[in-house]
Each structure stands twice: as C-alpha cells, then as structure tokens.
Structure 1
Amino acid sequence: MTAVAMAAAVTTGAVVGSVGPAMAAQELPVLSPFRQAIAAAAGSDRALAAFYQARDYEPLWTGRGDARRREAFFRALSGAGAQGLPVRRYDPAVLARAFREVRTERDRDRLEVLMSEAFLQYAHDVQTGVLTPSKVDPDIKRKAPLRDRRATIEAFAKSSPAAFLAQLPPHNPDYDRLLKAKLDMERLVARGGWGPTVPDGKYEPGDSGRGVIALRNRLVAMGYLGRTASARYDGMLQHAVQLFQADHGLNADGVAGRDTVRALNVSARDRLKSIIVAMERLRWMNMDLGKRYVWVNEADFTARVVDDGKTTFETRAVVGKNGKDTRSPEFSDQIEFMVVNPTWNVPRSIVTKEYLPMLQKNPNAVSYLKLINSSGQTVSRDGIDFTQFTAQDFPFELKQPPSARNALGLVKFMFPNRYNIYLHDTPTKYLFKRDTRAYSHGCIRLNDPFDFAYTLLRPQTSDPKGVFKAALATGVETILNLKKPVPVHLVYFTAWPTARGTMTYRRDIYGRDAEIFDALAKAGVALDGVQG
C-alpha cells in the first residue's frame, strides 16, 4: 500500500490495525518516565526542546485528549501529494505503524517527537515551499517567508487542529486554481494525454492533409475545438488556433507555424510539471503581496499593476537575455521613485565586456557615451590609448546623458537593490513586437513606460499626466518620489491560471522550471501525487 493510501486509511479507519479515528480515540498508556524521555528525544532540536519544556513535557500527540489532533494531521498528510509535496518526508505509513507498535515508554517518546518533527516539516513545506529558492538557481534571489518553528507548533497546540492545518497553504485564489488544474492534469495524463502530436511544418487557412487532421485532433483533445470531421484548415480551426496562441503567449495570427506547433506538442506530463512548479513558487511567495503591487512575469514578458487583486494596467516587457550574467533575477522589493530624463551609468560589466573592446578598435566608438575619470570629470578621448587597459584596470566610467536615444529611454522606475535591476523605457521599440522578448542585460524594459508612470502617480495627484510631462519637459534628470512605495514582484511562472480557471503556459526560457522540478523530484515529489 502506498504512503498516501495508508494515510487515507489512517483517517478513515479502513485498514485493520491502522490508526483510524476509532483507534486514534483510544488512550495510549501514560508512562511515568515519559517527560524525561521526551526531553532527551527532543534535545537535538532546539525549537522542539523549548516547546516541550514550556509545556512541562506534556505530550501533544500521544496523550489523553490528543485523538482529534492526530486525526486532523493524518487527514492533512493524506492530501500532501495533491499539494505537490514530497509525502515520504512525513511518511504517514511510518507514523501509522509507529502508533500500532508502541510497547514501551521509549517507543512512545520516539513517536511523540517523530510526530512533532513530521508536523513541522509538513507545515514548512506547505506554507513556504519544499526547496530553498537560491539553492536551486542562484538567479532566484527570492527568500521564502519562513515561519518560526517553535511559534508554529505552539500556535498549533492552542488552535483547532483541522482549522490550523487548513490555513497553512497559501490563501491565494491562484494557488487554489493551480491545485485544481494539477488534479485535472493528473487525470488527463492517466488517460494518455492529448494523443498524437502534430507533424513539424506550417499550417494555415486553406490547407488540408494529414498534418491538418493531426492539428485538428490535438486541438479537439485540448478543448479548443469542438468535435468536427472537417479535414480542411477552415475558419473554425483558425479560431481554435488563435485561442491556443493567446493562451500560450504567441502572436494570435491563426497560422500554426513552428512556435505554435512546438507549443502544441508539449506533453500533458510536461504541463503537469509546470503546474507543480508554479505551486511551489507560490508557496515561496506565501505573504501579503500588497493591496497594490507590480507583477513582472519574466516568462510571460509582461508587467502589470494589480489593485485589490485585479489587473488595472498591463504592458509588454523585454527581460534579460538567456546568458550567464544577463538573465533577469527573481525577487521582491518596493518601487520608491522614478527618474525622468535619466542618465545611464553604464554598468562596469558592460563597460569592460562590450565597450572596452570597441574602444580599443576605435577610440571614437560609442561617441554618445561620456568618458568619466575617477574624479567624476568628463575627459576627452583624444590621446588615450585604450589598448593599454584591461577589464581589470580600466580607470574610466561611461555615462550617457539624458536624451531620446538614451538606453534607458526617458524614464526609469527605481527599487534600489543590490542587483542593480530596475524597470525602464527604451528607444528600441521594435523588440516588443516579438513573441519571445529576452534581449536586455537583466533590467526590465517597458513598452508603455509613460502610461505605467501615470498609473503609479495616480493615487497621489489629480493630474498624473501633467506632473510627469512637466518633469519630462525640463530635459534634465528629475526624481519623482512615490508618496507610498509600491511593492514590485519579479516572478517567473510558466504556468498560470486565468480568473476563469483555464490554464495559460509559457516557454521555460531560462530553464529554471526544469531545475526546480528536478529538485522537487529528488525531494520526493511525484507527478501523480502518489509517492510510495
């Protein structure tokens, strides 16, 4: 019997000899040296040692009146697999067997501590994630909002067990939608997925043949097209392709080209992995996101302003290109101010890796950039032999004054951070027309930066557009502070539910989700939610 099946049996009492509600209600014998045994068993865990000491070593799981607590915890563990958690970490089957096999006070104290350890591990995993983000990928700078272990078990001891356990997962409608999507996708995978894939090629209205039939059947299986016997690429099929493209971040032109076919052929099993990863990512963000916040989904190439849970502004974004030093990181911060007519202080890494080689070939290259010495003075390039410098000893900085050609455009939005990442305008507008928009050095470029600025300023002025344009008209660098900083979350979700409950998917451009799922699998997470 699998661990989850055993856990369910423990809850229902369906297995002879298991600790179901009937047996959980039985009182385990009170053994006099129990307190000393608990102190010794919990001694290696400071949180548990302090917890039991504070309660005078009274048991939490194995004493009189603890049956409801045991039952509630086993019931929660029976759903751990559905949450995308590694059930073997808490192993309800081992816990159930330990209850059946209690014979001595030593057995009992081990069981008491084993239950508390399993509870704390489960609470940690379901609240704030199975993994430590930065250990999976160094570009994931996010720090999960960890709870104090002693405070957690103390609160549990004082609360209604079932209610306490129910509030541990993220209370986020998107998490609930992902949970439902996971269960639906598991059933689909068990049935064999969406059937045959679509042959490589380009399919467009008017076409017919084997590939069009495969395209039709795939879209029918995915729910984008009703049952039809048509073998032609007709209007209904074109509309279905457009719906699919919209859900997958593709140009909804109704032509099934290379990128569309590639997205169509992603298996249900791989989509399930993306959903499980998205649930883990939301556990890392199990905190108050803010009444108003900015949500930048790097995998979706978009930036949004969310007010009271609803998107009130959205724009296309360009994110960091897929290189070792250029991928956009993930973290949360607060936008404190915007800089209108910004100066671009070229990062040292760009100066030495990109511009120094250009200057060594031609001292007048990138003439729009000013050369600044260590005293902060602008110096002439005349007479400077750039070939004498290396990346390590190059003594100058490069700056680009405010202008329409400035690499930052005409405004940047600042949330000061150690990674030197911010949102900004750009003169390179044509990139926003592309489906995949990973071209920057790590910062986030916005397609509609002025409208974004007006949206941020709106709560503090009756004329946000006028305030912004007045600063812009000066032509000099000007700071506009936000009276109330706005939380900004740089995230990376390749699977995301809509308010209607349907799922949207994106490419894993940085390979991060693949890394996360591999780490989850090593921790014991299974695709079908059943480990054993």
Structure 2
Amino acid sequence: MTLSPTRRSTLKLMAAGAVSFVLPTLGAGRADAAVTALKQSIAESAARDKALSAFYRERNYKPVFVGNGDKRRRSALLKALKSAGDHGLPRQAYDVEGLTAAMKAAKTPSDRGRVEVQAASLMLDYADHLRSGVLNPRSVDSGMVMDVPRYDRQSTIDAFSKSNPAAFLKKMAPRKPEYVRLQKEKLRLEKLLAKGGWGDKVQSKTLKPGQSGGAVVQLRNRLIRMGYMRKSASQTYDAALQSAVQKFQVNHGLSPDGVAGGSTISQVNKGVQDRLQQVLVAMERQRWNSRPYEKKHVWVNIPDFHVDIINNGKSTFRSRVVVGKNTSDRRTPEFSDTMEFMVINPSWYVPRSIVTKEYLPLMKRNKGAAGQLQIIGRNGKPVSRSSINFAQYNEKNFPYSMKQPPSKGNALGLVKFMFPNKYNIYLHDTPSKSLFDRESRAFSHGCVRVHKPFDFAYALLTAQEKDPEGFFQASLRTKRERRVELREPLQVHIAYYTAWVDAKGNAHYRNDVYNRDAQIFSALSRAGVSLRSVAS
C-alpha cells in the first residue's frame, strides 16, 4: 500500500531545535494497532522505573513527549537540557544530542515509545539535579549531614504533564536570591576565563605601601581586572592601590590592613578557574538547601568563622566564632536544627570521647590532672579521685563521666545556646578569647565558640524580655545554672560556603578549611560537570 504525502509518517526538525512527530493518517484498524503498539512500547520501556511505570499506567500509557500535541514539551525539555551548563549541571549526563537523534530516528510506534520514556527519564534526572543537587552530600563527606529534600518522581512527571512545560522546568531551579547571584557570578567568571583571566600572578611574598616595581604593577593589574580599582599607570603602591587591597581583603575574610602580606597575595594569585570551581560548588550546596530560609534564623558559615542572626534577609547580629579543628573527629558538621533554649552559668558535661581519649591518659599518670573537673559515678554523684585506680581502665571500660561546674573558667564559658542534636554540637562562650584574633579559627572539638556570647544572648532574648541585658545579667550574678527557654525558637543553619555574593553584588571567597569543596568538585567532575568559558 502506497501512502500519499498527507498520510505518510513525517519527522520535522524545527528551527528552534525541537522535534515534531506527525502521526500517519491510517485506516481505523491500522491506527488502533499503532496506538496499541505505542502503548505497549511505553509500558515495556517504563517497566523498570517504578515511578514512570505508575505514571503511565494511570494515564493509560498516553505519551507526554511524542504525541502530535506534545511539541511544546519536547521543545522545552531539549532547551532546558541544552542549557544545563548555565546551572553548573553535567550537560553530558542528559545526552541531549542522543535524545534529539533518537527523536529524529523514531519512525515506528515501538521506537516512539522508547523515546517517550527516554525523554521522561532525562526530564526527571534534570529536575532532580536542578532542584536537589547532583550529589548526595553524605556520600561525599561524612561531615555533610544536612537533610536534602528529594521529590517524588511520579508526582514530578505528573505535574509536568499538566503544566506550562518551559515555566515548570524553569521553576525547578532554587529561587533564593543567593542562588541567582551565584549564577551571575558564574557567568562573569566564565567570560573572564574566555578573556584569559586576571593576568600575571604577583611574584612577591609581601608588598607594602610605598613600594614600587614589577610586583607592584602585577598586583595593580590583577586588582584592576578583578574590579577592585580603576585603571591606573602608577607603578607605586599608592593610596589607591592600598584602598583596593583593603576592599579585596574584606571580601576574602582577611584583616583589612592594606598590606599585601602572604595570605593576601595567596588569595590574589588564585586563578579564575579556582574561583569558578568555588562558585559551582556553592551552587550545588544551594541546591541541597533549596528550601527558603526562615524569616529569622541563626546562620553559621564555617569557612567564614562567623555567626549571624538573619532577619528578613539582613544580619542584625554578627560575631566571630571558632569552629572545629580540621581533624576527622573534630570538624564541625553541616546541618540544621532548632535552637530551643540557652543555659546561663552552664556546667560542662565532658563528651565521652574527650574523657577517654584526652583526660583518662592524663589521670593514669597523675590522679590530680584536670583537677577542675569532677569525676561522676553512675549514680550521678561526685567520686573522689583517691578511690579510683585509673590504671585498670581503658577507653572502653572507664565507668565514670566528668563534669565541670559553673565558673568563669568553665570550658563553655558563662552561657551556651542549645539546639539539641545527635551530633552534640551547640554554640557557647569560652574563656579562651585569644583565638578570636586569628584570621583562621578552626580550633575547637566541634562546637562553635562565640566571641560576643553576651550580645548574642541579648539579641535572642529581645523577643521575650523588655530588658534582655538586665534579665541576663541578673541570672548570671546568681552563679547558678539556669535554663532559659526561647519563646520563639530559631532555626540554626550550620553551613559551609567558600563562595557567595552579597545583596550589593560583591563576591566573597574563603579558604576551603576542611577540604570539603575540593571533594565536592571532584565528585561533580566525575559526574560530568566541567568548567567552561563564555565569549562576551
């Protein structure tokens, strides 16, 4: 049987790159057979994917992508997959070229059924990656224990089938302004990469105001290209260059003294590729935390060594912090929880790991070691050290706990801020104030030490006390432990961002103190994410 051109099955490649399927005009019997064959192919192709199988079964295997009326969905999907690199996603993982080729080649109902499920599967992968991230953070580093929202695949494809396809796919990206600003910074860096970056590195260990010469010119030129100063022909470390260095130092977590010391030059010499990697990792982290933050919350950024109270997107309190030391058992984990109360004049209940690994060896050599701590028996009462033969115990069988009563010398200082969690992490005061003067502040056992704990307490109590400072100080003067419930509990987010862009458009970068960014980018690279340059 020879079909006329109007009845012949045709495949058209649209100017925009979308593929149109036009079903043949057949007799009733053959048309029914074609529909049956298409449905059978969809059912067989989707059988190994529980979500897709259920979705198609509920719609009687009616296609979403390969029907005559599905051109908008095909076009929207292909366009989204082609632009996956704009979000730092692994474009090659979606095989847009392979999908396009399969659409062109699909001439039989069986072929079209297979292409239908292929398109649906790729759409779900893309949506999941854009909405919740490419990686599972816990599989990259055990310290990244945040809960990543993953969305039901069947509900996603069902919603897509009933929505404006282009708008639906666009809404998959995190809608927080932090993500949008990072995406703009990504494009800026990609354009800089295409132009060759920031030029020659600074060939000097340190430079100071008043100096001149080739290294000063290199510093000047890099800061000009980075946008920290206007064009200049000066070969001297003058006031304009000093001001630019200070701006750079502020945006990189360095002491803004205007002197280009070792830390400053090290950061200045970072390449565009390095910063682009940091931005790509930060965008992945934003996808892991794609849910909107609460109107008011506590924000701890580990590499920034600061805690903020954020209210309506603005910081209303800020303090330096000390975070966990960069060892496997002390790194501060990343997670979110709810701050429920503070304890004024706290006792320190020494964690079991510190008792057995640090103090027990000391007390084996000298019973009086760590004398500021009480030995507590299983009945909860203090036990005299003279009655204990420390030598007979090890990490596994030591039957005692240890406690430090409230005092100015208490390891927790005079106040702690509690958001009960299985990691036993909280914010607290400390008698060791000198560490707050350092640029890099990773020294604790894992908890977060706050430089201005009293001011932090006042800020938290403002919501429930007319005189928060007076209330706090009165409790402090009793020298007795007091638990104060927060009438408005706050979410606490302990995060790890080495790159972010503030509301004014200033890009900030920090060191990868725990090497987590490096691990994430390595995993992203294995998944197919790569750096790219973009012509202006």
Matched residue, 2:62:
58
**C-alpha spacing 1:477/1:23, structure 2 compared with 1 (3 Å):** closer
Q: What per-residue deviation string (whole Å, max 9, x for no partner) do you get for residues 66-106 of structure 1?
A: 11111111121222101000111211111110110012222
Matched, 1:159 2:163: yes
Instruction: Tell whether the 8 Å contact from 1:360 to 1:386 is kept in structure 2 after alignment.
Output: yes
Matched residue, 1:244:
248
**C-alpha spacing 1:68/1:404, structure 2 compared with 1 (3 Å):** same
Matched, 1:209 2:213: yes
Q: Which runs of 5+ in 2 are unaligned?
A: 1-10, 25-30
1: distance between equivalents of 2:162 and 2:342? 47
Matched, 1:27 2:22: yes
State the AA in 1 paired with 2:248: F
2: distance between equivalents of 1:421 and 1:430? 22
Deviation at 1:382, TM superposition (A): 1.6
- SS of residue paired to 2:456: helix
Instruction: Tell whether the 8 Å contact from 1:179 to 1:279 is kept in structure 2 after alignment.
Output: yes
Within the candidate set 32, 43, 48, 1:44 is matched to 48
TM-score by length of 1: 0.94
2: distance between equivalents of 1:59 and 1:469? 69
1: distance between equivalents of 2:42 and 2:161? 16
Within the candidate set 81, 84, 89, 1:80 is matched to 84
TM-score by length of 2: 0.93
**C-alpha spacing 1:214/1:88, structure 2 compared with 1 (3 Å):** same
Larger radius of gyration: 2
Instruction: Tell whether the 8 Å contact from 2:99 to 2:119 is kept in structure 1 after alignment.
Output: yes
Alpha-carbon RMSD across the aligned residues, in angstroms, is 1.6
| Within-5 A mapping of 1:112-127 | 112-127=116-131
Instruction: Tell whether the 8 Å contact from 1:340 to 1:410 is kept in structure 2 after alignment.
Output: yes
State the AA in 1 paired with 2:486: L
State the AA in 1 paired with 2:221: N
Instruction: Tell whether the 8 Å contact from 1:81 to 1:529 is kept in structure 2 after alignment.
Output: no
Deviation at 1:201, TM superposition (A): 1.5
Q: How many residues align?
A: 515
Q: What per-residue deviation string (whole Å, max 9, x for no partner) do you get for residues 273-308 of structure 1?
A: 000000000000011321111110001001111111
Instruction: Tell whether the 8 Å contact from 1:339 to 1:411 is kept in structure 2 after alignment.
Output: yes
Deviation at 1:232, TM superposition (A): 1.8
Deviation at 1:474, TM superposition (A): 2.1
State the AA in 2 paired with 1:150: Q
Matched residue, 2:382:
378
Matched residue, 1:437:
441
**C-alpha spacing 1:488/1:377, structure 2 compared with 1 (3 Å):** same
Matched residue, 2:7:
none
Q: What per-residue deviation string (whole Å, max 9, x for no partner) do you get for residues 484-509 of structure 1?
A: 22111110000010111121100001
1: distance between equivalents of 2:235 and 2:70? 65
| Within-5 A mapping of 1:295-444 | 295-444=299-448
Q: Which runs of 5+ in 1 are unaligned?
A: 1-15
Matched residue, 1:281:
285
State the AA in 1 paired with 2:189: M
Instruction: Tell whether the 8 Å contact from 1:28 to 1:62 is kept in structure 2 after alignment.
Output: no
Instruction: Tell whether the 8 Å contact from 2:19 to 2:100 is kept in structure 1 after alignment.
Output: no
Matched, 1:484 2:488: yes
1: distance between equivalents of 2:347 and 2:162? 56
Deviation at 1:481, TM superposition (A): 0.9
Deviation at 1:450, TM superposition (A): 1.4
Instruction: Tell whether the 8 Å contact from 1:18 to 1:96 is kept in structure 2 after alignment.
Output: no
Within the candidate set 98, 101, 107, 2:102 is matched to 98
- SS of residue paired to 1:81: helix
Instruction: Tell whether the 8 Å contact from 2:436 to 2:451 is kept in structure 1 after alignment.
Output: yes
Matched, 1:177 2:181: yes
- SS of residue paired to 2:86: coil
2: distance between equivalents of 1:22 and 1:198? 47
2: distance between equivalents of 1:493 and 1:372? 40
Q: What per-residue deviation string (whole Å, max 9, x for no partner) do you get for residues 457-484 of structure 1?
A: 2222322223322322221111111122
